[in-house]
Each structure stands twice: as C-alpha cells, then as structure tokens.
Structure 1
Amino acid sequence: MRINKYIATSGVASRRKAEELILQGRVSVNGKKIDSLGYQVDEKNDIVYVDEKQIKLEEKKIYIVLNKPEGYITTSKDQFGRKNVIDLVKDIKERIYPVGRLDYETSGLLIMTNDGDITYKITHPKYEVNKVYIASVKGIPTDKEIHDFENGLEIDDYITSKASLKVVKKDTIKKYSVCRVIIHEGHNRQVRKMFDAIGHPVMNLKRVQEGKIKLGDLKPGEYRHLTKEEENYLKSFLNFEKDII
C-alpha cells in the first residue's frame, strides 16, 4: 500500500496532509525516515511511525457530522491555545479528524471521519462538492453585486469560480441582509472575502450543507453519526459521481 494511503487509512490525516508529513521528514518505516511519496508499505510486516508514534490501519470507519460552534479551530495544532473541535468528540475512541475546514469565527456543518480516502475525494477541487452557507452581512447586495459575486471575483491571487448568492431576508432599518450562498471551492475564509469584495462584510456565517449532507437541527457542539444512506453517498465519491444540489 502506498505510504500516503497507509497514513490516511490509519486515521492520522488525509492523503494530501500525509504527503506533507512525509516531505517534512516526520514519517519513518522500521526506524528509517521516508522521503519518497511513492514508498510502498508492507502492511503485514512493516512498522510505520508518524512523529515517532506507531500508527496502525484503522479497522472501524467512523463518519459523523458536527455542528461546530464559533470559537473553535479545526486544525490539529494552534499556537494560541484556542479550543479545538476534537475536544467536542472526545467520547469517540477512534481518532477522527475534520473533512476540510471551517474558520475560527464560522459555525455549522463539519464532517469528521477516519476515512482518509473519502476525505481526499471530498476535499479535492476537481470533485466540486457544493457547500451551502447562510450569511448575515452588512447592507443589502445590489443586483450588480450579486452578479459579480456569482460570476467570479478577484481575491488574493485567484478568481473565484461560479457561485450562487440569494438574498433571503432584508432589513432596511438595521441595514443588513441574510443570504444563502453556494460555492464548491474551499479557499481560506473564501465566503468572507467574497462578501468583502462586494462591500458587504460578513457579521455571521454558518455552513448548513455539504454535498447532500445537511446539518439539520443539531445544536452547537452536538454531533451525530451519519445515516447509512449518507455514508453510502460519501462512499460514492470513491467511484466519482458529480454532485448537484
């Protein structure tokens, strides 16, 4: 088994993150550091270590959806000592990790699993998995601003792909609006930056759906295991079928 897949299947990280660990010199097999992404692991005889800790292939696959509260990070390490979403799932004995990220100030749906193959498929840009957000923003976007938002904005060093923006509530007195946004990319703080680009800063942002997985009525900090139907939907990405909401 290829080394990055072995690490992902062990529940340590996604395949892409596993490749980073290898290139950083944090992976060894039988006591020898591995620097080749193409290294093949003998699953029966080799002993694999990440950061000098032995890892093993996960047998039981776990799939949950968490309602991430604001004020939690989704990365594995944080120099500021902030609260981590892992703290909210401590009663799950298997080592699971987030599929993609939600920034510190954003709440809502976060899929977590120890299935590295599925994580890789869902987060890879070419699979274009739609993500649905509800955003409260300052002011009310005009028709032109909505058109610009939906057809590509220049942010940092890239142009955003086509998106969807619908104003679902307007408050002309308090001068804010509530919008439903659909994107399939996952750049850092992308939705916030898109609204900044059209002059309507985000006040509150929540992800409510990813692909066909919906947040439902989960309270902040609560999680649930995916239904069999939802699991099968995720596993369908292993034999890719483009997803449409």
Structure 2
Amino acid sequence: MTSSDRTGGADAAPEGVRLQKALAAAGVASRRVVENLIVEGRIEVNGRVVTELGTRIDPLADEVSVDGVAVQLDQDKRYFMLNKPRGVVSSMRDEQGRPDLRRFTDPLDVRVFNVGRLDGDTSGLLLLTNDGDLAHVLAHPSFGVEKTYIAKVTGRMTAQTLQQLKRGIELEDGPIRVDRAKILQPQPDAGHTMVEVTLHSGRNRIVRRMLDAVGHPVVELVRRQFGPLHLGTLRSGHVRELSKIELGQLLTIARAADAGRKGKR
C-alpha cells in the first residue's frame, strides 16, 4: 500500500512524498522524466504498477522499482565494494590484534559492516553496508547468493576432476557441489593450475576444503564475484561505492529472494 492509499480522505493532509520527487532525489532521473515513466506504467510501488502522477510514497517503507529494477530511496543507506587483501581478517575488531577491516572503513563518512566473510588468506570482493535488512537477506542460507572464485591450485587439474566437483563430493560437514567450474590455464611450471569455481554455499572455507578434497590444495584464492557484483579493476586494498546500476541489481535479487523466503513460511 502506498502512502497515497493511506490518506484519510479528501480533507486529510497528504502523507508521504510525491513519487517523482523521491525518485529524482534518488538520482533515477529528473522529475519530468520520472513523470513520463509513471504515465508509461514503468514504475512499481510495492509490486503494483502506478500511473497516477499524484502518487505519494513513504521512502523509508515503500519499495519502488523502475523497469523491474529496484531503487533505494533511503539516502542514508550506503553500499561499498572492498577488494580485501590477503592477511586481513573479515572483522571490524579482531580480538587477536590481526589486521582487520577498520583500516578500510574508518576513512568512510558512514559506519558500515561487512556482508559475509572472507578468510584471512583469501582476497577479493567484500560488500560493506549499513543496510541491515539487505545484509540479513544476503547472508541468509536460503538466499544462496552465487560467488565466483579464481583459485591457483597445486598440480594439473583434469576435466574428470571438474566433473567430480560438479557432481558433488562428501565433506565432513555433508555433501557439496559447485554450480560451475572451468580450468583457466595450467601454469608454465606445470606444477599449478588456475581454475574458476562458482558456488552458492556459504560454508566456512568451502572452496579450499573442496579443492583439497579432490587433491588440489589452494595456493592462492580470490573472490571475483558476489551475486551481480564484479570486482573488475578495483585494486587490492581499495574501496569504492556501488554504482546505481550495481545497487539496483543487488537490491532487485535481494528483494526477490526475501519475498520468496517469506512466501514459503
């Protein structure tokens, strides 16, 4: 229900913010362009297409999407991507005094926390945010966000081993299989192989344990992708804010997953 549905009648003071104003403030487009989007039926509020220019919403409660892509209207919510270096633990304060995430988050103008973890020996993409609702959905086991890793492993991996990973193997905490895997290249010294692995499990050190179980211990491991987010050319130890497109993609799949999870209750 939008805020325009919640008004108390003709004599009641209008509640909420006009939809075009909220979307313009969120950086979607100018008010005039947003008005055209509304008239064309390209905007949904809480899953319902709206075409009335007078529609009012609550930016902190209503969910809005444009052309099926979610929009974050709460400008206090922030989202960052970190290329975490090796040797840094995924914690805001490590009790053992090891290098932690504060060196990257302290310079930011907002307090954020990490979504999920990468072990100290693994580098790559880590999402940082102050959006607790989104973090909860992405971390929930039923969501199963896909993660893609590049691993340098010992030995020459074969196609047969890849098939074994795809079919599934048995670990001490239960069966597991990858969603996708491919050999990128054997290393010139013939002693290592570069392999790309995609899976949605969030179990502890799962990639390392799987590759070790098939006889190819990991030498180096980098997470290149988390859901729709790609590390790209972001340098190790650097942080950047998500683009509007990246954020829209992330919110869209998170909202869909949350809706699906609630529908199963």
> Considering the TM-score relative to the shorter chain, is it more than 0.5?
yes
Q: Please list every run of at least 4 consecutive aligned residues from structure 1 whose deviation after the TM superposition is greater than 3 angstroms.
A: none
Contact 1:151 1:163 in 2 (8 A): no
Give the CA deviation at 1:144: 2.4
1:140 aligns with 2:156: yes
Distance in structure 1 (CA, Å) of the matches to 2:96 and 2:255: 40
Distance in structure 2 (CA, Å) of the matches to 1:95 and 1:172: 45
Distance in structure 1 (CA, Å) of the matches to 2:231 and 2:159: 29
Structure 2: segments with no counterpart, 5+ residues: 1-73, 259-265
The equivalences for 1:54-93 within 5 A come to 60-93=76-109
Give the CA deviation at 1:79: 3.0
Q: Counterpart of 1:149 in 2: which secondary structure? A: helix
Query: Partner amino acid for 2:189?
Result: I
Q: Which has the higher contact order (CA 8 A, sep 6+)?
A: 1
Distance in structure 2 (CA, Å) of the matches to 1:238 and 1:108: 21
Distance in structure 2 (CA, Å) of the matches to 1:143 and 1:238: 34
Could you tell me which of 169, 187, 190 is aligned with 2:203? 187
Give the CA deviation at 1:173: 3.4
Change (3 A) 1:150 1:238: closer
Give the CA deviation at 1:94: 1.9
Change (3 A) 1:144 1:238: closer
Corresponding residue of 2:221: 205
1:175 aligns with 2:179: no
TM-score by length of 2: 0.66
Contact 1:67 1:215 in 2 (8 A): yes
Distance in structure 1 (CA, Å) of the matches to 2:139 and 2:84: 18
Distance in structure 2 (CA, Å) of the matches to 1:123 and 1:163: 18
Query: Partner amino acid for 2:139?
Result: T
Structure 1: segments with no counterpart, 5+ residues: 1-57
Could you tell me which of 211, 230, 236 is aligned with 2:246? 230
Corresponding residue of 2:11: none
Give the CA deviation at 1:174: 3.5
Distance in structure 1 (CA, Å) of the matches to 2:239 and 2:122: 16
Distance in structure 2 (CA, Å) of the matches to 1:173 and 1:102: 28
The equivalences for 1:16-31 within 5 A come to none
Contact 1:86 1:97 in 2 (8 A): no
Query: Partner amino acid for 1:131?
Result: K
Query: Partner amino acid for 1:192?
Result: R
Query: Partner amino acid for 1:199?
Result: G
Query: Partner amino acid for 1:226?
Result: L
Deviates more, 1:202-211 or 1:226-235: 226-235
Give the CA deviation at 1:165: 1.6
Q: Counterpart of 2:136 in 1: which secondary structure? A: helix
Give the CA deviation at 1:153: 1.7
Change (3 A) 1:67 1:172: closer
Q: Counterpart of 2:209 in 1: which secondary structure? A: helix
Q: Counterpart of 2:161 in 1: which secondary structure? A: helix
Corresponding residue of 1:151: 167
Distance in structure 1 (CA, Å) of the matches to 2:180 and 2:150: 12
Change (3 A) 1:217 1:162: closer
Deviates more, 1:182-191 or 1:149-158: 149-158
Give the CA deviation at 1:229: 1.1
- Please give the per-residue CA displacement for 1:20-73, whole angstroms capped at 9, x wherever unaligned: xxxxxxxxxxxxxxxxxxxxxxxxxxxxxxxxxxxxxx9711100000000001
Q: Counterpart of 2:86 in 1: which secondary structure? A: coil
Give the CA deviation at 1:175: 1.2
Query: Partner amino acid for 2:155?
Result: G
Give the CA deviation at 1:176: 0.6
Task: Give percent identity, aligned residues only.
Answer: 36
Deviates more, 1:98-107 or 1:161-170: 161-170
Q: Counterpart of 1:66 in 2: which secondary structure? A: strand
Give the CA deviation at 1:125: 2.3
